[in-house]
Amino acid sequence: MADVAQPVGILKQVWLIAGLRWRLLHNSLRRKQNRLDLLGLIIVSLLAGTFVIGVCFALFVGASDFVSSGRSSWLSLFFWAIFLWWQLFPIIAAGFGISFDFRTLLRFPVSFGAFYVIGLAYGLADFTGLAAVCWIVSIILGAAAANLALLTPIFLVAVLFVIFNVALERLLGSWLERMLARRRSRELFFAVFILLMVSVQLIGPFLNRYGDSVGSWLPRVLPYFAYFPASLAGSGVGAASEGHYGEFALAVAGIACYAVFFGGLLWLRFAAQYRGEELSQAPAPERTLRNSVGRRSEMDALALLSPQVAAVVRKEIRYLLRNGFAALLLLLPPILVFALITQATLFRFSGAASGTSPELVFPGLMAYIILILMAPAYNSFAYENTGVQTYFTAPLKFRDVLLGKNFVQVSLIVTELTLCIVAFYYRVGLPSAPIFTATLAAIVFTVVGQLSIANWSSLSFPRKLAFGQVHGQRQSGMAVLVAFGAQILLFGISSLVLALGRWTGDRWLPAKAFALLAAAAFGGYIASLDALTSYAEKKKEKLIEALCR
């Protein structure tokens, strides 16, 4: 019995968990769908890898140039960029992180130390962390190539900087998930977020009016940023290159204090999760009073739809209001458009020899909005969970489910496009009638053309997601690949049609061509609903298994 009760060290526990995860991955590859998911993830990772490698070369050259020219402290600019990337990008791209729920570790007799180490390790395993580490390694190699004596100091600084960023990123993500688990705090968060985004629009007019005073005020503020980790990293390397090892030791100690402080806060946060903290927004049981008048008005709002489709529409709207990050992503396109059009100096259309023409900017902005808003449609059953079984037991056809989901998706796109077009018209002005008409027809073509593909992708490659989470929200690799392929194809066709109109000199040719393509896409969408209904019956077991586990 003494051998059985022998304690297992932290490293041994981490090794056992890693082996278990590898066996789970290896066994999951026996299914065709999981193999396709892994293939799609590999292809998407290769595409993202080209971006990371390109930035690596730029950082290597920049770090080598800074060190060789005696400006080693300028490396703070690179560390600040990596810091902002590491902390902000995981929130924007929460859907592409590592899919893992830490509560599953509590099934095993792991110690809290092993739980903490694994939590930090997963902070390095997602795309954001891996890209940042690759960029830091490039900075190290670039500095060492210019001055080999800096290898040890910059390596020590980089290790502490990585530990600090991992701890802070995991801590912010955990706090954000905890905050968004409650409805009132989520509403407050979005109110503050909207106010901040609106305030950003005032930066341009503020700088235009008070630019001179800001220019004299900025040098007095910048020294206060010298005490942040990114600035300490650059100044520490600069001090080591000049032989000031006392200043280097102070910079290293400062970064280490930041790492210990946020690591300690993360320790407390993980301790709450280790003790079984359960985040839920379920309301307390109470007696509800039915309001027949409100129900009647709600039914009248969707009276033109069939009862089955209307029920799906109501459910989708309520899911959207509960999902904080989905609502956040819906705010990004109009915010970007407003940010661009409020900078009046970027749009000098009338009487200007140079500048950006609205003939090109308007179609580009519309294409970007569609690119962002159509992405969730390729995994439209992500938040159904066990509720997906209701679709196969309720008295409705699956085409009604697809129609309801597509109706909400198209309504959101139309609403956001209308807001952006009105703002573009108010601030910039609309393009010529042929380009404006062609763009609207191209929007119908690209949106309707993607709906059939997105419905097929949702049935073929479903992936379960959770409300209000930053980590563990990875889309299916094949779904992402299908979305990229469909959007590249349709946008390529649209660009070719627009170029054909410019080449032939017929300005109304793109509008006519897009009208025909939109009609063909609409006919294909209607014809695909019955085929997808039969396809859903064939995929029923896999769909339920993927969303209910």
Q: Which tens digit of pLDDT belongs to each residue from 133-149?
A: 999 999 999 998 888 88
- d(C-alpha 335, C-alpha 198), whole Å: 8
- d(C-alpha 141, C-alpha 134), whole Å: 11
Residue predicted with more confidence, 135 or 27: 135
pLDDT for position 355: 46
pLDDT for position 348: 46
* Structural element, H or E, at residue 437: helix 433-460
Query: Does position 125 have pLDDT exceeding 80, yes or no?
Result: no
- d(C-alpha 127, C-alpha 130), whole Å: 5
Examine residue 281 and state whether it is found in any structural domain, yes or no. Answer: no
Examine residue 282 and state whether it is found in any structural domain, yes or no. Answer: no
On whether both 234 and 319 belong to a single domain, the answer is no
pLDDT band (50, 70, 90) for residue 350 = very low
pLDDT for position 293: 46
Residues in the chain: 549
Query: Does position 4 have pLDDT exceeding 60, yes or no?
Result: no
Q: Is 27 helix (H, G, I), strand (E, B) or coil?
A: helix
Report the domain count for the chain. Answer: 2
CA distances 258 to 162, 232, 237, Å, are 11, 11, 17
Residue type, 108: F
pLDDT for position 207: 62
Nearest C-alpha neighbor of 510 from the set 523, 495, 520, 524: 495
Examine residue 203 and state whether it is found in any structural domain, yes or no. Answer: no
Residue type, 19: G
First CA to last CA distance, the chain? 36
Q: Which residue range(s) make up the domain with 444?
A: 297-548
On whether both 27 and 98 belong to a single domain, the answer is yes
Nearest C-alpha neighbor of 380 from the set 444, 464, 477, 314: 464
Residue 474 sits at φ, ψ, to 5 deg, of -100, 130
On whether both 380 and 265 belong to a single domain, the answer is no
On whether both 248 and 302 belong to a single domain, the answer is no
Examine residue 211 and state whether it is found in any structural domain, yes or no. Answer: no
Q: Is 96 helix (H, G, I), strand (E, B) or coil?
A: strand
Residue type, 121: A
Cα torsion 131, 133, 134, 137 to 10°: value is 160
pTM here is: 0.61
Q: How many CA atoms lie within 13 A of 530 on its CB side?
A: 4
Q: Is 474 helix (H, G, I), strand (E, B) or coil?
A: strand
Long-range contacts of the stretch 273-282 (C-beta < 8 A, 24+) = 273/102, 273/103, 273/174, 274/106, 274/112, 274/115, 276/106, 279/177, 279/178, 279/181, 279/468, 280/181, 281/181, 281/182, 281/183, 281/186, 281/322, 281/467, 281/468
Using CB atoms within 10 Å of the CB of residue 10, give its burial: 0 to 12 exposed, 13 to 18 middle, 19+ buried: middle
pLDDT band (50, 70, 90) for residue 491 = confident
pLDDT for position 262: 92
pLDDT for position 481: 80
> How large a percentage of the chain has pLDDT more than 70?
70
Q: Are 390 and 401 in contact (CB under 8 A)?
A: no
Query: Does position 150 have pLDDT exceeding 80, yes or no?
Result: yes
Query: Does position 127 have pLDDT exceeding 70, yes or no?
Result: yes
pLDDT for position 351: 42
Examine residue 229 and state whether it is found in any structural domain, yes or no. Answer: yes
On whether both 252 and 380 belong to a single domain, the answer is no
CA distances 255 to 106, 137, 246, 394, Å, are 32, 18, 15, 58
The C-alpha R_g of the chain, in whole angstroms, comes to 27
Nearest C-alpha neighbor of 126 from the set 176, 175, 92: 92
Query: Does position 315 have pLDDT exceeding 70, yes or no?
Result: yes
pLDDT for position 199: 62
Backbone CA torsion sign across 208, 211, 213, 214: positive
Examine residue 213 and state whether it is found in any structural domain, yes or no. Answer: no
On whether both 126 and 262 belong to a single domain, the answer is yes
pLDDT, mean of residues 284-302: 51
Q: Are 237 and 153 in contact (CB under 8 A)?
A: yes
pLDDT for position 468: 53
On whether both 233 and 315 belong to a single domain, the answer is no
pLDDT for position 19: 72
Q: Is 332 helix (H, G, I), strand (E, B) or coil?
A: helix
pLDDT, mean of residues 281-300: 49
pLDDT for position 317: 82
pLDDT band (50, 70, 90) for residue 284 = very low
pLDDT for position 386: 79
Nearest C-alpha neighbor of 317 from the set 247, 243, 411: 411
pLDDT for position 354: 44
> Which of 204-213, 379-388, 502-511 is the least confident region?
204-213
On whether both 411 and 262 belong to a single domain, the answer is no
pLDDT band (50, 70, 90) for residue 164 = very high
CA distances 344 to 77, 360, 429, Å, are 28, 16, 12
Q: Are 186 and 324 in contact (CB under 8 A)?
A: yes
Nearest C-alpha neighbor of 494 from the set 447, 450, 454, 446: 446
pLDDT for position 433: 85
pLDDT for position 49: 84
On whether both 426 and 520 belong to a single domain, the answer is yes
On whether both 239 and 331 belong to a single domain, the answer is no
pLDDT for position 138: 93
Query: Does position 474 have pLDDT exceeding 70, yes or no?
Result: no
Residue 96 sits at φ, ψ, to 5 deg, of -120, 20
pLDDT band (50, 70, 90) for residue 383 = confident
pLDDT for position 213: 62
Query: Does position 519 have pLDDT exceeding 80, yes or no?
Result: yes
Structure tokens at 460: 């073929």
On whether both 353 and 317 belong to a single domain, the answer is yes
Q: Which tens digit of pLDDT belongs to each residue from 428-466?
A: 777 888 888 888 999 999 999 899 999 998 888 888 776
On whether both 255 and 379 belong to a single domain, the answer is no
pLDDT, mean of residues 28-44: 72
Examine residue 335 and state whether it is found in any structural domain, yes or no. Answer: yes
Examine residue 4 and state whether it is found in any structural domain, yes or no. Answer: no
